[in-house]
Structure 1
């Protein structure tokens, strides 16, 4: 059965837990569920290559999965990863990050690394798509981008050790309150979530997906536009783990050699693409 949550033309009163953006939301309360914090699962990120180009020619060049970016290995500092960002483009789709276990943050992490654990109190209301403030889903994995046109002679950018966070105060201009935070070097929102969709079979088997918008924080740091659509994501737990895979697009057969300057952290670029504030959910 499929249920749709969409903007309604009338103005109504809602609690702060609802995902009203600029208009009221209407829904059917039947079959609602509280989706539990995941004990395991995946977060798949698919970035639109054309959205990266306006920002100094950004492209994804390096990806460290859980094993390669292992936060228990003291060698894997932020500076070490930055120094190993490649200058050859790789596909920016089907990049899978493993969800961190429920519990406490890992101890004795390398310098500049801040992998977060998943909070035991994390949950999603399948009816309103609201989360719980001051909780998170942690994950492992790091990605590096190369920007051949970054002044003066090109440079690399690094982000990762992500966490999925809900903050009701971010509900405006297409923002739903959900966002992806970078935690390597320092914590900062890099993508806001939009056009959200929920599918679930029970409280421990669910899928949370939508679009990735350039966050105001990241857009401001890059001196570019904010809240433009730069890709999509799919977070899956239980039987939904591994969701969000798409057909890979070949990258140009080119090696970029535009200098050796690298930055400690930055996000990615964006493009102008109109997005809807419609929120969808499905129950299977």
Structure 2
């Protein structure tokens, strides 16, 4: 049995913050939808990193707090029926009213980061994603790679596409990003892909999360993505299919204790990638 624990010890000190401390844009982290990741919980390293970059970071418990040009991060929302019940059917985490509010807010200038991990989170978030033209495979995205290697999206392996998030426009130039077993999605025509799967990568779709056998349905992920951005109306949208890359955790099992997230030695560029992405989201 693996034990997963948030790791707040290896959040880097930022010597060149983009904004003076507490003077940057406002970022809210959603806590309305039974979120697996919250500001003071599994996303504490993420919120601390952003605060060290000068952002003002708060939990969101009411849509009325949102102003145009604020950034809202929704990570791993889930319906109450699927809390500790990661088995089909996966219910929508967002009501039609939720979706209408969020879509209108982004159209008016809001900045939204949607993160939906492997099943059940990708399924729970798909109706919201559909409203912006994205479509999740509710499963586990698996890269075609040697066993034991990290899920590496790099320019070298043609899975990291050059974009304004990676080319130095909004910070450091990024040549690779590491993720940790997430989900996949297809993107609308006007979106800009960032993390792209290749032919031979696959989405495994079990009836119960983490339970796989030779009969588990799978889908080839050619032309699917794990990260993309989109200008939407007057606002901006970023969609990602893996949450651990944005935070820091330790996992302990029979083989020892391992860093999983931007604290991992396999993910040396993730912090700079996060900083670039959030700067793009929060600026004009």
Normalised by the length of structure 2, the TM-score is 0.29
Larger gyration radius, structure 1 or structure 2: 1
Greater relative CO (CA pairs within 8 A, separation 6+): 1
Structure ranking higher in strand proportion: 1
Structure ranking higher in helix proportion: 2
Normalised by the length of structure 1, the TM-score is 0.29
